[in-house]
Amino acid sequence: MTKLKLFFLCIVCSGLIFGQSNSEIKKLEDFAKMYSVVRHFHPSDESANFNWDLFAMYGVEEILKTKNQKEFEIKIKELFLPLAPSVTYGKNEYQWDKTGTKPVYWVNKGLGNDSQKKTYDRKRKNVDSIDFNIGSIPIPQPFYTLKLSNNFSPIIPLIVYSKNNKTFPEGNLNGYQSLKSKTFDRNTALANMIIMWSGLRHFFPYQDEMKLDWDKILKEGLISAYQNKNEEENYFTLRKISHYFNDGHMWISYPDYFKLNYFSPGIKTRYMRTTKQLVVTKILGNNTELKKGDIITKIDDKNVESVIDSIKQYWSGSDHYNTQNAVKELFKGKENTAVSISLDNGNIVYLKRDFNTMNQTFFSYDNEIEMQELRNNVLYINLQNLKKITVESKIDYIKSFGKIIIDIRGYPKTSNGGVTAILATFFPDRNKVKFMSFPKIENPFYNDISYSNWKGWDFKKKEELNAKIVLLVNEGCGSFQESIAQYIKGNNYATLIGRPTGGVNGNINRRPLLNTMGYSFTGMKVRNPDGSLFHTIGVQPDIVVEDNLEDIKNGKDTFIEKAIDFLNMK
């Protein structure tokens, strides 16, 4: 009988604990939604000039102190009154005296404020000078009724009014003057999740295409962040949540982790999709136990496929782009730690992580060629290495070739200026190719969206190039590389040979989080020039190429070989 009582007592206690946890998560979900709307759409002076990241951490701490719904509602009102004194609760909207006033509302060019890229910005109508052009500016609805749990419904003005150059009613931020960063704790972890979800919920540009379950994502993220004991766990929680968005620009930055864990042995590998083999392609240093073409079957006694899959769950992007990135991470770890590699011939090779992948050209470049004549009078141009001065000094040389390979499989150094130089010299925008646009986001939760005019690159004709051209692409191509491919393909300048690109384009938007972390995502909407879906699909090649094991063993580039064969076809 005693055992039976103890059994039921355990069930009751566990239920109470679980219920309390559920209650806390639900309150945090509601706080996150309130926070996101007021932060991004309520245009009071107090809201516009406030450290919302630190407030997220403080708000989490205060919300978790509440013991029931009544206390929660009181706390929400208390937290947001200094920032948004015109928010009401219940059925009645705030009544404005508009005599002698000007309407004030946010004009968003993507998710601005704190963006680390000037592409994105936000200004307040009738307060700031709006110096960016997104075409006609839509006016938001006057109020937004936010429906939270238990019929709690804050009514949040999206348009406020100013008199004598101040919005009213006036809030009081004195109680928040002491907000400051703290060492990592649970509140930090939860706040980082809320900050990231908040920005993505309203400004992620592929919500129509993806039909994301935002409530599920928020709940899962909060439950996981609630358990985070340190920054590294929080980093991986945020990375795992990012996987939902299939956005190759989405990344969690955490410099302290990168400094310690970005070391690798001096080898490069390629994953062959058709045969599902991981093949050694390049070796740095004096390793005599490996050679080009060796097939790796296990890493630290784990099957290669399972290791790749375990890494992919922390990447955001198309499946083929995630696979490419996972392969780059296979051997990374702490400096001078060991990793074992099992080969298909039965040999086991032990390597040391003694190269910093952040500093080594070896890990980022497939070749160091800038421009070179290949066999059969074919000119090879590698946009990753191409410099502006090279293009300008070799215009006649380039024009002398009737067969040209342009390679964009490596990410170009924009500081070199080579890409702009060669496009502006030889490839005018003859078909008026457009593929990129800013969503005009004036209302919460991605409602009533319109778009700026679709944009491309308006290069004019300078030099005539009479050549048969091949453009080399693969699944590692993303962002700027894909703009190049879309422009070249849309203008019918080249035959694309290789594999589908990553489907990542749209100008990255980098955002800060707490404790030196940050997140990024695609800020603009991109489509193919014909209007079809681009996100996660990428630019499709005209001729698909798969890697060839014998070519790898012999130090040949299969893509270049196929391109030469194509160019020499009669």
Residue 325: CB partners within 8 Å, gap ≥ 6?
Answer: 311, 315, 317
Grade residue 131 by pLDDT with cuts at 50, 70 and 90.
confident
pLDDT given at position 361: 80
> Is 524 within 8 Å of 536 (Cβ atoms)?
no
Give this prediction's pTM.
0.93
Which token pair is 474?
Answer: 């693969």
Q: Which spans in 385-503 are helix H?
A: 388-393, 395-399, 418-426, 480-490
Residue 470 Cα to chain centre, angstroms: 29
Tens digit of each residue's pLDDT (9 = 90 or more) over 387-430: 999 999 999 999 999 999 999 999 998 888 999 999 999 999 99
Cβ atoms within 10 Å of 409's Cβ, excluding its own: 22
pLDDT tens digits, one per residue of 308-323 = 999 999 999 999 999 9
400 Cβ partners below 8 Å, 6+ apart? none
The confidence score (pLDDT) of residue 414 equals 80
The CATH number assigned to the domain with range 366-567 reads 3.90.226.10
The span from the CA of 4 to the CA of 399, in Å, is 89
Domain ranges of the chain: 14-245, 263-357, 366-567
524 closest CA partner among 486, 494, 497, 488? 486
C-alpha to C-alpha distance for 43 and 475, rounded to whole angstroms:
42
Beta bridge partners of 108: 122
Instruction: Report the CATH number of the 263-357 domain.
Output: 2.30.42.10
Q: Which of 467, 393, 390 is nearest to 426 (CA)?
A: 467
The reported pLDDT for the residue numbered 366 is: 83
Rounded mean pLDDT, 285-295: 91
Gap between the Cα atoms of 443 and 41, Å rounded: 7
Please state, in angstroms and as integers, the Cα–Cα distance from residue 1 to each residue in 7, 15, 29, 565, following that order: 10, 21, 42, 84
Chain mean pLDDT for the chain: 94
State how far the alpha carbon of 293 is from the alpha carbons of 269, 308, 500, 550, 553, in Å. Answer: 9, 19, 24, 7, 5
